[in-house]
Chain A
Amino acid sequence: MTAARFTGISLAALIAATLASAASAQTIYVSNEKDNTLSVIDGKTMAVTDTIKVGKRPRGITLSRDGTQLFICASDDHTVQVFDLASKTVVHNLPSGEDPEQFALSPDGKSLIIANEDSNIVTVVDVPTRKVAFQVDVGVEPEGMDVSPDGRWGVNTSETTSMVHWIDMEKRAVVDNTLVGPRPRYAQFTKDGSQLWVSSEIGGTVSVIDTATRQVKKVVDFHIKGVAKDRIQPVGVKLTGDGRYAFVALGPANHVAVVDAKTFEVKDYLLVGRRVWHLALTPDQKMLYTTNGVSGDVSVIDVDSLKVTKTVKVGRYPWGVAVKG
């Protein structure tokens, strides 16, 4: 009796859980830089279900750790908006410093580190108190941001200075700098934190940096038949959690490169929309979404088959993308 009931409950729970995951599926959020809107895509139907007005020139977006809120860099409003996903409203603004472009959330979800592109500063905001914790000076046009999985390092790339600035989050200071290829746009740590991958838009390369020594250990180069070398301009980078792939958005080359994250060999180039900028993986790592600025759409890539399965039209100049699981 007890055993039977137990089975019944667990079966019901299992069914409920399966239903819930299928029903909630995934929701994809895309910031449209030139429309001042957010496009909401249903991950199951791949249809845009909502277009929501947000602040001016929305660029970088990222989910809160609990997945209930979306942080939006409203660059021309000089603020980071905190958007509540359930009520679809901006609940408050965070003090971001001038012209925020990209940001990264610390692993504990409490610190947001923000690149202030026009003022050569990185602002670190304490999310719970909504106050600026500290600011540090970095190079010209800070852009790419990430925080190491152990929370020790905040990193920032500066585009005109062409460096990675290593911010010791405890000391609240830049303690090291790594020179990379011209115009570094994006930085991402590997899941174990041992490497930092940095794209260089004008250099046309991705630098893999050893976190322990802060030295470049590998430079990944790209060659696409029929595409001029100077049109290959890497921007967004996404690493799969299993350490298998690095996906690199190649800007006006209109391709996403698939890099073997262990051997650093480029395995494939996937044709996507025009001027592919940023990337986001689903939490289950099965799908990759790309924002294509010039064609105003999002490409959907199946990670297992490495095929582009769908293109979804969004607003003008889609920039940032985030996926809620």
Chain B
Amino acid sequence: MTKLRLPRLLNSVSLAALGALLLAGAPGAGTAADAVGEIRIGFLSQTPEPPPSVANPDEPAADDGLAGATLAIADNNTTGKFLKQSFVLDSVEVAPDGDAAAALRELAGRGDRFVIVDAPGSTVEALSKLPEARNLLLLNATAPDDALRSSACAANLVHVAPSRAMLTDALGQYLVKKRWPRWFLVTGRRPEDKLYADAVRRTAKRFGAQIVAEKEWTAESDVNRTAESEIPVFTQAKAYDVLVVADEVGEFGDYLSYRTTDPRPVAGTQGLVPTVWHRTHEQWGAAQLQSRFKAAAKRPMTARDHNDWTAVRVVGEAAARARTADPDRLIAFIQSPDFTMSAFRGAPLSLRPWDGQLRQPVLLAADRSLVSVSPQEGFLHPRTELDSLGYDQPETLCKTRGKTTP
């Protein structure tokens, strides 16, 4: 694996030179790559700086995300050696205010036809629209924005991370199954919190729950010191079953439990959380991935690590199944109904052709225990129960992708 620092100089590389590089790396080189069986995967990460108001007791590791991709490259190569395929990860880290487009051009110039994008939704969208991205397959590893799967969907963009709608549907199914249908929705002040809250409202409508009260958390004070007095006042609401919180960066959500006026559980972005991965998850062989990851990274696997692991494995699994290293054929295969893969969550993962979203089960986890796995029993779907999570084919707002039934 090569790790390249993003050179500032790149910005000044002429377009002509880039074009030449791209031509060299694109379809023409496909046959050469096929012969040696080398598959290059780019890894572009950008981590937004957390706001100063957030006191995170669990500082994320410096290699959060990248460690998952690195393990998946090793997994791909273990399989690849039996098929004469080898996988290379080109990793580039973009500063929060850095030039992601330049980084993508750099990766494309290296012949990476697959680029894992571990970055905010705005970066993912901007990258997918670049002319240099037209021949690539961008794998959105972490951005949950439903807009990326609807108005901003693109033929060269697939989504490994579940959308917000899938996450809140996964939670909502469980709450409804528990007969806790009255929700008190508390939303943070950031734009992504509003999007999460929108997804919660949509979920409530779909599964017959009610938002009986709604409040916005706007407090400016240091919540760490004031929570005990502020939250009981803030959470005075009419009768509800569960407090559903939308606080993606974790500004206040962790302070709600045990401080609400009424003794009610907290769920959403904190409390009982829908997620792709949790350190207590061990079913379906997950214990093996957990211990393999821990041995390699010396820490437990996070959801971000898992998303990046899955993204790299999508390419590896396709290469093994389609028995080719030819990027064009792989890109077509990944988006075909023949593509499925295992990701330690029970049901096989596959791609929804109408919006490029990877179908997948979603875990529901508390701090130190796995509570459940959605879809919940009884939420039926004629195709696969996995399609009871998120935007189904008839409701998709994506217009630029084919709508063929998988």
Q: Taking beta carbons and an 8 Å cutoff, which residues of A are in contact with B?
A: 99, 117-118, 120, 137, 139-141, 158-163, 165, 174, 177, 179, 182-183, 201-203, 228-231, 233, 252
A117 to B340, CA, bound (A): 23
Q: Are B79 and A183 in contact (CB under 8 A)?
A: no
Q: Are B288 and A163 in contact (CB under 8 A)?
A: no
B154: chain A residues at CB < 8 Å are none
B295: chain A residues at CB < 8 Å are 118
Q: Taking beta carbons and an 8 Å cutoff, which residues of B are in contact with A?
A: 75, 78-79, 81-83, 285, 288, 291-292, 295, 313, 317, 320-321, 323, 340-342, 346-348, 384-386
Residue of A139, A165, A182 touching B342 (CB-CB under 8 A): A182
Task: Name 26 A/B residue pairs within 8 A (Cβ), A-sorted.
Answer: A99-B291, A117-B288, A140-B75, A140-B78, A140-B79, A141-B285, A141-B288, A141-B292, A159-B285, A161-B78, A161-B82, A162-B320, A163-B79, A179-B323, A182-B340, A182-B341, A182-B342, A183-B285, A203-B340, A203-B348, A228-B384, A228-B385, A230-B346, A230-B348, A230-B385, A231-B347
Residue of B346, B348, B386 touching A182 (CB-CB under 8 A): B348
Q: Which of A120, A139, A160, A230 has the most CB of B within 10 A?
A: A160
B285: chain A residues at CB < 8 Å are 141, 159, 183
B75: chain A residues at CB < 8 Å are 140, 160
A233 to B348, CA, bound (A): 10
Q: Are B342 and A202 in contact (CB under 8 A)?
A: yes
A160 to B79, CA, bound (A): 8
Q: Are B348 and A120 in contact (CB under 8 A)?
A: no
6 further contact pairs, Cβ within 8 A, besides A179-B321, A228-B384: A120-B78, A137-B81, A162-B79, A183-B285, A203-B340, A230-B385
For the A-B complex, the count of residue pairs with Cβ-Cβ distances under 8 Å equals 67
Minimal Cβ-Cβ distance residue in A for B75: A140
A158 to B341, CA, bound (A): 14
With known contacts A141-B285, A183-B342, A230–B320 Cβ distance under 8 A:
no
A165 to B83, CA, bound (A): 12
A160 to B78, CA, bound (A): 10
Q: Are B292 and A139 in contact (CB under 8 A)?
A: no
* Shortest distance between the CB of B206 and any CB in chain A (Å): 20
B81: chain A residues at CB < 8 Å are 137
B340: chain A residues at CB < 8 Å are 182, 202-203
Q: Are B341 and A118 in contact (CB under 8 A)?
A: no
Is chain A's binding surface mostly helix, strand, loop or mixed?
loop
Minimal Cβ-Cβ distance residue in A for B341: A182
A165: chain B residues at CB < 8 Å are 82
Q: Are A230 and B342 in contact (CB under 8 A)?
A: no
A139: chain B residues at CB < 8 Å are 78-79, 82
* Shortest distance between the CB of A239 and any CB in chain B (Å): 24
* Shortest distance between the CB of B177 and any CB in chain A (Å): 16
Q: Are B82 and A202 in contact (CB under 8 A)?
A: no
Q: Are A161 and B384 in contact (CB under 8 A)?
A: no
* Shortest distance between the CB of A282 and any CB in chain B (Å): 29
A165 to B82, CA, bound (A): 9
A183: chain B residues at CB < 8 Å are 285, 342
A120: chain B residues at CB < 8 Å are 78
Q: Are A118 and B320 in contact (CB under 8 A)?
A: no
A158: chain B residues at CB < 8 Å are 79
Q: What are the 5 tightest A-B residue pairs by CB atom distance, in nearest-first order?
A: A161-B79, A202-B342, A230-B347, A177-B82, A183-B342
Q: Are B346 and A163 in contact (CB under 8 A)?
A: no
Q: Are A230 and B79 in contact (CB under 8 A)?
A: no
With known contacts A118-B295, A182-B342, A182-B348, A230–B384 Cβ distance under 8 A:
yes
A219 to B192, CA, bound (A): 47
A62 to B9, CA, bound (A): 63
A141 to B317, CA, bound (A): 15
* Shortest distance between the CB of B53 and any CB in chain A (Å): 41
Q: Are B346 and A161 in contact (CB under 8 A)?
A: no
A304 to B154, CA, bound (A): 58
Residue of A141, A161, A203, A229 touching B320 (CB-CB under 8 A): A161
* Shortest distance between the CB of A100 and any CB in chain B (Å): 13
Residue of B313, B321, B348, B384 touching A202 (CB-CB under 8 A): B348
B323: chain A residues at CB < 8 Å are 179
A226 to B320, CA, bound (A): 33
Q: Are B342 and A229 in contact (CB under 8 A)?
A: no
* Shortest distance between the CB of A80 and any CB in chain B (Å): 18
A177: chain B residues at CB < 8 Å are 82-83
* Shortest distance between the CB of B363 and any CB in chain A (Å): 16
